[in-house]
Each structure stands twice: as C-alpha cells, then as structure tokens.
Chains A and B, each alone.
Chain A
Amino acid sequence: MNTDAFNQLDRVIHEKGRLAIMSLLAATPQMSFTELRDTLSMTDGNLTSHIKTLQYEGYIAVTKSYEKSRSTTTYSLTEKGRKAFTKYLDLLEQILKESRNKKI
C-alpha cells in the first residue's frame, strides 16, 4: 500500500460528489446547475454545498447571466482546478501501478 501517494491525494477532490463534479467539468467547457444536478442525480442542496467547497478552493468558476427575464448560472473548471484534477488523476494512476507491481 503506497501511503505516500495516498496521503498526497487532494481531500477536496477525493470526496465522491466533488470528484464527480470535477470530472464533468473537466470534460466540458462549462455546465449549468441544472445539467450538473440532472447528470449526477444530486439534490439541489447537496450540489450547492459541493460547489461552494470547490469554489472556496478556487477549483471552479461561477458565471451568472441574466437573459429574457431568466437567470442562468454556469460552472467551469479554473486553471487551478484543472491542475489539481490532473494531479489527482496522476496520483490515482500511480497508486494503481504500484499496487499492480506489488502483486507481480
């Protein structure tokens, strides 16, 4: 068990719900609140809570716009968020690789 790599994993991203949000935003330029909620089958409260945490860490950017008497909120990954996500993936792969090597 590689505790070193495991300890380096970003705890903010490691949480299942936040990891899912980061994964979606890494694959697409931006997503609306509704799209995120529907894709992940999350409750409004749960999603808002995770978004706040990610926003606080500076991992996602929030854009609010108002058009045709309707407000829309979209989310995208910041540069810091993208780097953190990439690092998280690298560490996961490293853990996997080392575990496989030990088995052999």
Chain B
Amino acid sequence: MQNDWAEEHLHTIRTLMERVALYRRALAPVMFLTGGTGILFSICGPLLKVENPISFVIWWLAAGLVAFLLTLFVTRRQALKDKEPFWSNPTRQVIYSLIPPLFAGISTGIAIVIDGTIINPPFLPAFWIMFYGTALYAAGFFMRRGMKLFGFLFVIAGGIMLIVLALLKIPVDYNIAHLLMGIFFGVIHIGYGVYLHFTEKSVDEQ
C-alpha cells in the first residue's frame, strides 16, 4: 500500500516538474544575431559571386554555423549571468528536438554538393526553410513565446514556396536564392526578435 502512494507521489512530482521545465532563455538576442547573420550573408553572397551549387551550399552552411556559434555564446552567457547550468534539462530537450530536422536539412545540402546535382537554386532555400521550420516546431514544445507557431509558419511558407517556384518555372538565378535566404533567415528573424524584445519581459513577469 505504502509502496503505491510513494510511487504515485514520485510520479506526480516528476510529471509536474517536466511540465514546467521549459526553455526560458531570452530569445530576442538570439533572433537578432541569427537575423543579422542571415542578412549579412545574403548581401555578401551575390557580391562575392557565390553562384554555383557547391559554393552556395557551403556559403549558407557557413552562415548556419556562424549563427549556431553566436546562439551558443549568447545562451551560455545568459546561463552564467543567471547562475544556472547551461546544459539544463530544457536545453537538452530543445537541442535534441532541433538535431534531426536540422541534420536532414544539412545532409540534403551536402548531398547536393557531393553529387553535383543540378538544382534550381531557389528550390534549396525552400527545402531548408521547411527543415528549419520543422526543427523550430519540434523545439517549440519545450519553449514558450510562440516558437511552435513560428516554426509551423516556416514549414507552410517553405512548402508554398516550393509549389510556387515549380509553377512559375523561374530561371536559374542565385540572386533570387540569396534573397529568399535573406528574407527568411534574416528579415523575418529580426522581425520576430523585435516582437520578442517588447513582449518577452512582460510575459515572463505575468
């Protein structure tokens, strides 16, 4: 009998603790840095003539790496400032959710490089936007502030973009591809960052 209630109590405690263990780091700075990186790479890409499949994929994988490292730096700094462990349970859950879709997106890009497949460049951003959106959507289950919706909208936008690009039969144009990357991974992130900047604090204090 005693065994039963003790087990029940522990189960309740575990469930409740998991339910509220959400990732609570301020996301506005992360969005600004990711957006800034996206815009910078989308401007420099055409200027530096990043205009073939291999260099395009490598260029944007590098942008992703830069954004990832900046995110790591900012979140670690926030954790140190709050005197909390960086590799906390919510952080682990968020990272584990991000990995499979991001890996799928990265491997798609690498496969294109290795195979040398000719792909109309603007299609690649559409694929990446969908994979990235899926990653955010999955991570959103362990985050607050509408991250799930943000990811969902990315998936929808990427999907619609694929269909529209196919219907329009647009010519091979790397400038369009860089522009699409700049809009989705740059401008939209900055916009979301601005929204978070003005709402994050007030919601946290509710």
Contacts and interface: CB of A to CB of B under 8 A. Distances in A.
15 contacts: A2-B2, A6-B2, A20-B12, A23-B12, A26-B17, A27-B17, A27-B20, A28-B22, A29-B82, A65-B205, A67-B205, A92-B6, A96-B6, A99-B2, A103-B3
A53 interface: no
| Interface residues of chain A: helix, strand, loop or mixed (majority) | helix
Nearest to A96: B6
Contacts of A72: 205-206
B3 A29 contact: no
Interface of A: 1-2, 6, 16, 19-20, 23-24, 26-29, 31-32, 34-35, 39, 65, 67-68, 72, 74, 89, 92-93, 95-96, 99-100, 103
B2 A89 contact: no
A32 B205 contact: yes
Interface string B165-205: 00000000000000000000000000000000000001001
Interface in B8-47: 9-10, 12-13, 16-22, 24
A39 B17 CA distance: 11
Give the interface residue-count category, chain B. Answer: 20 to 34
Could you tell me the dominant secondary structure of chain B's interface residues?
A: helix
Contact of A27 (B2, B21, B82): B21
B115 interface: no
A89 B206 contact: no
Which 3 interchain pairs have the tightest Cβ spacing?
Answer: A27-B17, A99-B3, A23-B16
A28 B24 contact: yes
A1 B6 CA distance: 12
A89 B22 contact: no
Contacts of A29: 24, 82, 84
Contact of A96 (B10, B84, B205): B10
Contacts of A34: 206
A89 B202 CA distance: 34
B13 A89 contact: yes
B11 to A, nearest CB: 11
B17 A24 contact: yes
A44 to B, nearest CB: 15
Contacts of A26: 17
A2 B2 CA distance: 9
Contacts of A32: 205-206
A99 B104 CA distance: 47
Contacts of A99: 2-3, 6
A20 B16 contact: yes
